[in-house]
């Protein structure tokens, strides 16, 4: 952030900009708003106490906020904080800052999660404040255009949305046609890791500064019972650090991302994935700079480039649109599942010995890092949750608490819709379930393919198909597995 001349508040009022925890942009629109005199940062423990959030997620958000505040102060801007130690709720913290500092107007960037804007508007009305709301900058697609597309597409399939995005943005387009004449390269991007092994570059090392070390100590003291060890925190917390990770991904892993984006390995948690979603989802990176860095890179095969672009301007933006368009997703439960999660899903204590190897392995790495890549989330964890009959709302709560990049806008459609098929087919065209054979093909979790076919994972798959055959029959894409199930059971 660079110093700039200040003209002062135009109407003589004292106006503040509230910088939300998920909006740590180094080019936040409030920073160039001449009406803003002071910047508010509210660290609310209630936000973290609502569910047992992973320690690394709490460190990420708090450290990023404090770094943003420090950068503002370094340019001579006025910053006022409501520190975590005060123990105030979010709205109470904002209210206290408003009253303490004689604020007449409050500005903020529109929040992606539902309800935040309404709470802030209500607070402004109660306190007699003028308000100003900047557009949400976490995404590429303006909210109005996104809403219009979903309103005009009742089926709203991801592939249609993605093609609209490509045409709208011109990314990977050759005039009116997709680059190389293909919209996607999925058929080229479903390879397991080579049997002879492959060199997987490690993530860039990070060195914690005094701010992050202080946050780690504070989280360890205040939230000792939350999952994860804050001392093992591993993520970038500033825009510059995040850009370093972006550059490293583009230079060292993007080229191999495509073919191995669905691969799994028991001893490799990150493979060729970018690990940029934690930074993207709190504004340390923007979609524009991520896409520009990827598309400007030289020597990246088109299948890898397209696969990555699909994740960023397709899937991620689609999740936001589905969240806005379909509020019913939050409480959907197509299969009427009721099982609650055992405590070991959160604390790792007493994990059953018979838990299938892929589930145990991925769970343990989630408890350690707050992260698993997308195919592990979907086809290991989400798959097992569904096969075991866990309530989709309980699964949503778990993902929301344990993952460093999890927020309501992405977890509602991703878990309720895509992973748990709780909406009955709005987000996904079929349930993402399988037995052990698929997991073995993509990750070699069991000693042999035969062991995978005879595993408890496979048994659970056939049992689920039998238990929910009536509802699954409605989906024509389930005809073949249901026929196999009936043959297996001798019908």
The domain tally of the chain equals 3
Tokens matching residue 248: 């490293």
182 and 120 share a domain? no
In a domain? residue 9 = no
Whether pLDDT at 315 is above 60: yes
346 and 415 share a domain? yes
**Long-range contact set of residues 365-369: C-beta below 8 Å, sequence gap at least 24:** 365/269, 366/402, 366/403, 367/227, 367/228, 367/402, 368/228, 368/229, 368/232, 369/56, 369/228, 369/232, 369/234, 369/269, 369/404
101 and 28 share a domain? yes
- What number of other Cβ atoms are within 10 A of residue 68's Cβ? 28
Burial label for 288, CB within 10 Å (0-12, 13-18, 19+), is: exposed
Do 161 and 149 meet the contact criterion of CB atoms below 8 Å apart? yes
What residues are paired with 42 via a beta bridge?
Answer: 82
- Asked which of 125-129, 193-197, 223-227, 366-370 is least confident by mean pLDDT, the reply is 193-197
306 and 169 share a domain? yes
377 and 414 share a domain? yes
pLDDT, tens digit, for every residue of 103-123?
A: 999 999 999 999 999 999 999
Give residue 13's pLDDT.
Answer: 62
- Asked which of 3-12, 288-297, 430-439, 445-454 is least confident by mean pLDDT, the reply is 3-12
CATH of residue 212's domain is 1.25.40.80
> Following DSSP, what letter does each residue of 142-196 receive, concatenated?
-HHHHHHHHHT-SS--HHHHHHHHHHHH-TTEETTEEGGG-S--GGGS-PPPPTT
315 and 340 share a domain? no
Q: Which residues contact 132 (CB under 8 A, 6 or more apart)?
A: 15, 33, 35, 105, 106, 107, 108
In a domain? residue 7 = no
In a domain? residue 385 = yes
Selection from 194, 240, 271, 207 nearest residue 64 by Cα: 240
In a domain? residue 289 = yes
154 and 302 share a domain? yes
CATH of residue 42's domain is 3.40.50.620
Do 209 and 64 meet the contact criterion of CB atoms below 8 Å apart? no
198 and 212 share a domain? yes
106 and 179 share a domain? no
Which of 263, 298, 325 terminates a domain? The answer is: 325
Do 358 and 380 meet the contact criterion of CB atoms below 8 Å apart? yes
pLDDT, tens digit, for every residue of 367-417?
A: 999 999 999 999 999 999 999 999 999 999 999 999 999 999 999 999 999
Tell me the mean pLDDT in the region 208-216: 98
pLDDT, tens digit, for every residue of 414-430?
A: 999 999 999 999 999 99
Whether pLDDT at 166 is above 50: yes
Q: Which strands sit side by side in the sheet containing 130-134, from one edge to the other?
A: 79-82, 38-42, 15-18, 105-109, 130-134
Tokens matching residue 82: 């409501």
Give residue 490's pLDDT.
Answer: 72
Sign of CA dihedral 235, 238, 244, 246: positive
Give residue 489's pLDDT.
Answer: 77
Q: Which residue blocks in 297-404 are alpha helix, DSSP H?
A: 302-309, 316-325, 344-347, 357-369, 374-376, 383-387, 392-402
Which residue range is the domain that position 433 belongs to?
331-489
In a domain? residue 5 = no
Which of 269, 301, 325 terminates a domain? The answer is: 325
Whether pLDDT at 7 is above 80: no
CATH of residue 350's domain is 1.10.579.10
355 and 404 share a domain? yes
366 and 442 share a domain? yes
342 and 485 share a domain? yes
Q: What is d(CA 17, CA 290) in angstroms, rounded to the nearest whole number?
A: 26
pLDDT, tens digit, for every residue of 229-251?
A: 999 999 999 999 999 999 999 99
In a domain? residue 181 = yes
Average pLDDT, the chain: 95
Whether pLDDT at 152 is above 90: yes
What residues are paired with 81 via a beta bridge?
Answer: 41
């Amino acid at each position: 952030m660079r110093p700039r001349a200040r003209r002062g508040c135009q109407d003589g009022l004292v106006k503040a900009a509230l910088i939300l925890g998920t909006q740590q942009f180094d080019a936040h629109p409030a920073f160039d708003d001449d009406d803003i005199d002071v910047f508010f940062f509210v660290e609310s423990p209630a936000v973290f106490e609502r569910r047992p959030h992973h320690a690394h997620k709490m460190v990420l958000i708090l450290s990023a906020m404090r770094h943003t505040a420090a950068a503002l102060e370094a340019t001579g801007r006025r910053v006022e904080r409501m520190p975590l130690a005060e123990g105030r709720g979010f709205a109470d913290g904002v209210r206290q800052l408003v009253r303490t500092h004689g604020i007449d107007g409050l500005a903020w960037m529109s929040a992606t999660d539902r309800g935040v804007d309404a709470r802030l508007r209500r607070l402004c009305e109660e306190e007699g404040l003028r308000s100003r709301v900047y557009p949400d900058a976490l995404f590429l697609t303006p909210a109005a255009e996104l809403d219009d597309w979903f309103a005009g597409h009742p089926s709203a399939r991801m592939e249609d949305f993605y093609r609209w995005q490509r045409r709208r943005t011109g990314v990977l387009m050759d005039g009116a046609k997709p680059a190389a004449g293909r919209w996607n390269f999925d058929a080229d991007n479903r390879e397991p890791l080579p049997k002879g092994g492959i060199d997987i570059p490690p993530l860039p090392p990070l060195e914690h500064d005094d701010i992050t070390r202080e946050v780690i100590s504070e989280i360890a003291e205040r939230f000792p019972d939350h999952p994860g060890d804050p001392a093992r925190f591993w993520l970038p917390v500033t825009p510059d650090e995040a850009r370093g990770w972006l550059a490293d991904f583009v230079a060292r892993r993007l080229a191999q991302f495509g073919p191995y984006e669905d691969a799994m390995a028991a001893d490799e948690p990150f493979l060729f994935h970018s690990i940029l979603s934690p930074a993207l989802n709190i504004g340390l990176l923007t979609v524009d700079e991520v896409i520009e860095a990827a598309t400007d890179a030289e020597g990246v095969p088109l299948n890898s480039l397209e696969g990555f672009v699909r994740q960023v301007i397709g899937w991620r933006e689609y999740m936001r649109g589905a969240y806005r368009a379909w509020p019913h997703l939050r409480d959907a439960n197509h299969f009427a599942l009721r099982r609650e999660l055992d405590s070991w899903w959160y604390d790792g204590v007493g994990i059953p010995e018979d838990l299938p190897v892929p589930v145990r392995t991925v769970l343990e790495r989630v408890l350690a890092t707050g992260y698993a890549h997308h195919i592990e989330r979907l086809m290991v964890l989400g798959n097992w949750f569904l096969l075991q009959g866990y309530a989709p709302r309980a699964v949503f709560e778990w993902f929301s608490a344990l993952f460093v990049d999890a927020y309501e806008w992405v977890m509602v459609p991703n878990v309720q819709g895509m992973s748990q098929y709780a909406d009955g087919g709005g987000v996904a065209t079929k349930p993402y379930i399988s037995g052990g054979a698929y997991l073995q093909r993509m990750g070699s979790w069991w000693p042999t393919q035969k062991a995978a076919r005879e595993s408890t994972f496979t048994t659970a798959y056939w049992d689920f198909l039998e238990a929910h055959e009536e509802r699954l029959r409605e989906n024509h894409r389930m005809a073949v597995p249901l026929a196999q199930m009936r043959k297996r059971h001798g019908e």
